[in-house]
Chain A
Amino acid sequence: MKGRTGIAFALILILLPPAHAGLGLAALTDNQRVLHILNRIGFGPRPGDIERVKKMGLDAYIEQQLHPERIDDSATEALLARFPSIRMDGAEIAKIYVPAKDIAPGQGVHPLQKLLQELQGQKLVRAVSSERQLDEVMVDFWYNHFNIFWGKGLDKSLTTGYEMNAIRPHALGKFKDLVMATAQHPAMLFYLDNALSSSPDTLTTTMERLEQLQREPFSPRREQQIDRIRERLEQQKKGRRPGINENYARELMELHTMGVDGGYTQKDVQEVARAFTGWTIDRTRENPVFVFRAAMHDPGEKVVLGRRIGAEGMKEGERVIDILVRHPSTARFIATKLVRRFVNDAPPGSLVDRVASVYTQTDGDIRQMLRAILTSGEFFSAEAYRAKTKSPFELAVSSIRALGASTNGGPRLAQAVATMGQPLYRCQAPTGFPDRASQWNSSGALLERINFGIALASNRIPGTPVELSRFADESASADVLVQRAADLALGGDISERTRKVVAGQVASPAGLSPVKAFSLVLGSPEFQKR
């Protein structure tokens, strides 16, 4: 039983807010406020960051981060040269990374696997090095909100463009632009099957079109079109009978906009699905792009959430998006998710209300919502301080930043993040990775997190070299070592327990080395929090 209470106790340690949160010390110290900001609108402090932000002023730093376009990030841009695919359009990616034939195993890294490695690599490099930290946090947030699974068929080659073109440009923009961009991106159309959704009458329509074409005079174009239609009919006979597919319609409402309790019905799901019929992919092998196919569209009248939508072809989907993003449930759902990410697992209702009303007043302006959160009393409260458990991605990136290291984004780092429970771009469910502590706290995951800190401090992650001698040499006293590690990783805010344990290692036969001191601090309960 002692063992069982031990595990339970360890979990409680991670789950509970830090001790001082309960002691009624309402105000954070200046140092804690700066650390809090660096941990929340970025991936934790690098050496010197705390002083830099103090000098600049907290408000100025927040305002700067809210305008990433004004921040010079050329150093990070240069690092991204290792990932050529992120600057390619779909046609180039298809040409270079999609092999014409299956490649036999054992012939090196498969080009599509390489594509994933570049995608994961750029995410890690940017999170570690970019000066536009908040922008990176938001790209991570929105990708996860509009999650797609890299491993699903065509999405292996489309996920790169999805993040670069549908998510990244809108990370601090208008929410509606994100919904529209994701709705029309071939990666989403494929992932949630809308590309396949068609009016049950499509077969008849296709036949009619074929007959009509056959009556037209001969031309090479006519022959081409006839061939294409025959091919489609052939496919339809092979099990692809036309009909609606509800997958995207449901997740659009449940996960992207209104939330599961937002007040829609199964009938609404079907109506939305009908409105989006014809939003599909022009699946030329060379470059899959969004296309509206009138022949697949169900032109009948739809009623979505009590609103009538007439026969407007492709515009019907746009009308649905309009209705959804203006719905009060969407304002609330998005506000709640943002507040959960930035403030607390249990989002304070007062703040959610205010952020939801900013959403409504500003037409879903993400920057304005963030400003409302980052200047709120709830955000800077003792209850919020170190209240969030870092995701494995956040833990890895903040560890590297704390040690002042950089990474080339090589596959070993992404593997380490996956081992801790977060395979980047490979969350299969449309929900994305959860943003709650309970999800990341398990005994196995805790051990993996500890092992990550050890591997990093010991310089055993290829592509992510660290140089601890910058901070302390082997002869440094235990007190100095503990203080250095605590300053760098924890903004100096280290618990007595952790300090004692680290300093106590001096008495062990191996003594306390810089590697050991940093391993222990990176593996400490307080570093698991942000």
Chain B
Amino acid sequence: MIGRRFFIKSSGLALASFAVTPSFLVRAAMTERAKDHPVLIAVFQRGAVDGISMVVPYGDPNYRPARPQIAIDSPMDLDGFFGLHPALDSLKPIYDEGRLAVVHAAGSPDNTRSHFDAQDYMESGAPGNKNIEDGWLNRYLRVKPDRSATPFRAVAFSPNVPRSLMGPAPVVAMSRIGDFGVRSGAGAFEAMYGGETFEAVHVLEGARPQQYGPENGAQYPASPYGQSLLQIAQLIKAGVGLETAFTEIGGWDTHANQGNDRGQLAGRLQEFGQGLSALYRDLGDRMENVVVITMTEFGRAIRQNGSGGTDHGHAGALLLLGGPIKGGRVYGRWPGLAPDQLHEGRDLSLTTDFRDVFSEVVRQHLGAGDVSRVFPGYTPAVRLGLLP
């Protein structure tokens, strides 16, 4: 942290304000309890990952003919029909341990093929409704208010608050824990912005999350995505009251030369998988209370396009990972890839609404009773049984 110390020395006002913040002590006492708290981490694959390359329906006779150059040659078998992309080999052991589940042919029922709209819908949690201003994760925070929550109940690792977390409930967005502070004169800025604005800064200073290095040999990718996951793990270990975390990884909009077992998409998947598996290893036993879900705006067209890539499609695949997940299975009804089975003759048809998936996580893992307020106007259609 940059200059909190400098500042304490240089400003009596700040010293006073720090001394009269008793809530931090209360929070420190909470840390023990926080260990049993459920944590949800949402990872958004922005740009729309090609679901059938990530989790390959190699058993479908129409798969290879649709993709002469970009079909995956050696998927890692999951259940005799689906296989993981070989670049996701780091996730295979987690699947085998029964801690990773796939929901296939899942996504948003809205027909839009616009990245912007589709991301917006999945993050607002209200496909087709442009009048919802807050995000579904922020609504969750309000549906299940927590009187003992810390400023770090909801954290986004991004410079700006993502749509999923936008709304009236307080959220912290940051790029790096180390940058989350004011270099000098914090007390004056605190006074300007309303007194205790910077409580989050004080909490971090007390907890010093950066002292927690990766454990169990976990190796996070050096990318912003990998480093975000590492820092999420640090916040969990530091016991600052983290409950909902959000991060993202881009580069999925593979319109051209996406490659097959190797190539552009494989490179993205490699980083993606390594990040998740590093988190899984690093958190070790703590993973018993952690669920990671992936989000992505839509799947991609079934037939490859003229540039060795795939255009925007409809349904795709979502992953869930963590101690509470009944993994080792691919969930969801497979709609098939025959021409008459495709959505609008070109895309994977949708058989599971993403809200069915997220609702189960919100209810079974986070313990929110009223899921219909998290996903307004929606009644879950299918009970998948992803969690006990």
Contact = CB atoms under 8 A, between A and B. Distances in A.
Interface in A232-251: 238-247, 250
A444 B311 contact: no
A469 interface: no
Contacts of B309: 193, 245
A2 interface: yes
A445 B344 contact: no
A369 to B, nearest CB: 24
Interface string B107-127: 000011111110000000000
A8 B168 contact: yes
B312 A447 contact: no
Contact of A3 (B12, B161, B200): B200
A9 B174 contact: no
A455 B183 contact: yes
Contacts of B151: 3-4, 7
Nearest to A243: B306
A464 interface: no
B158 to A, nearest CB: 8
B307 A245 contact: yes
Nearest to A246: B311
Contact of B197 (A10, A445, A508): A10
Contacts of B371: none
Contacts of A7: 151, 170, 172, 197, 199-200
A516 B10 CA distance: 12
A447 B182 contact: yes
Interface residues of A, number: 72
B11 A508 contact: yes
B185 A239 contact: no
Interface stretch (A43-51, A157-165, A375-383, A434-442): A434-442
Nearest to B344: A266
Contacts of A472: none
Given A246-B312, A446-B193, A2 B23 contact: yes
A505 B253 CA distance: 51
Interface string A437-459: 01111111111101100110000
Given A10-B193, A239-B69, A502 B173 contact: no
Interface string A1-33: 111111111110100000000000000000000
B387 interface: no
B308 interface: yes
B169 to A, nearest CB: 8
B193 A509 contact: no
Nearest to A255: B116
A447 B69 contact: no
Given A200-B306, A240-B257, A455-B183, A520 B116 contact: no
A524 B191 CA distance: 10
Contacts of A206: none
Size band of the B side of the interface?
35 or more
Interface string A115-132: 000000000000000000
A260 interface: yes
Interface string A135-156: 0000000000000000000000
A421 interface: yes
A445 B200 contact: no
Contacts of A419: 159, 175, 179
A497 interface: yes
B376 interface: no
Nearest to B46: A429
A428 interface: yes
B20 to A, nearest CB: 11
Interface string B175-187: 1000111111101
Contacts of B156: 442
Nearest to B112: A260
A431 B119 CA distance: 12
Contacts of B189: 450, 520, 523
Given A6-B199, A245-B309, A448 B117 contact: no
Q: Which of B156, B159, B308 has the most CB of A within 10 A?
A: B159
Contact of A245 (B47, B160, B168, B311): B311
Nearest to B115: A429
Nearest to A422: B159
A239 B197 contact: no
A404 interface: no
A528 to B, nearest CB: 10
Given A428-B250, A501-B191, A241 B311 contact: no
Contact of A240 (B113, B199, B307): B307
Nearest to A505: B188
Interface in B139-173: 147, 149-151, 156, 159-161, 166, 168, 170-173
A441 B193 CA distance: 13
Contacts of A439: 160
Given A193-B307, A429-B115, A445 B160 contact: yes
B193 A442 contact: no
Contacts of A241: 68-69, 304, 306, 308
A254 interface: yes
Interface in A200-249: 200, 202, 238-247
Interface string B1-31: 0100000001111000000000100000000
B356 interface: no
B10 A508 contact: yes
A499 B160 CA distance: 29
A245 B306 contact: yes
A442 B161 contact: yes
B15 to A, nearest CB: 10
A3 B312 contact: no
A227 to B, nearest CB: 22
A39 interface: no
A445 B304 CA distance: 40
Given A239-B308, A429-B115, A438-B161, A525 B193 contact: yes
Interface string B69-103: 11000000000000000000000000000000000
A197 B306 CA distance: 6
B256 interface: yes
B342 interface: no
Q: Which of B117, B185, B196 has the most CB of A within 10 A?
A: B185
Contact of B306 (A242, A430, A445, A519): A242
Contacts of B161: 438, 441-442
Given A4-B149, A244-B305, A250-B113, A447 B194 contact: no
B351 to A, nearest CB: 21
B381 interface: no
A444 B159 contact: yes
A345 to B, nearest CB: 12
B188 A1 contact: no
A451 B182 contact: yes
A448 B172 contact: no
Nearest to B201: A447
Closest 8 CB pairs of A and B: A243-B306, A3-B199, A6-B196, A421-B159, A444-B174, A442-B173, A239-B69, A196-B307
20 contacts: A1-B149, A3-B199, A3-B200, A8-B168, A10-B193, A196-B256, A243-B304, A244-B305, A246-B311, A247-B253, A250-B113, A442-B171, A443-B200, A445-B159, A497-B192, A501-B191, A508-B10, A508-B187, A510-B11, A523-B192
Interface of A: 1-11, 13, 193, 196-198, 200, 202, 238-247, 250, 254-255, 260, 266, 269, 419-421, 428-431, 438-448, 450-451, 454-455, 497-498, 501-502, 504-505, 507-510, 516, 519-520, 523-525
Given A9-B197, A520-B185, 19 more contacts: A2-B199, A4-B149, A5-B196, A196-B256, A239-B69, A239-B308, A244-B305, A245-B306, A250-B114, A269-B113, A419-B175, A429-B115, A443-B200, A444-B173, A445-B159, A447-B181, A450-B189, A501-B188, A505-B11
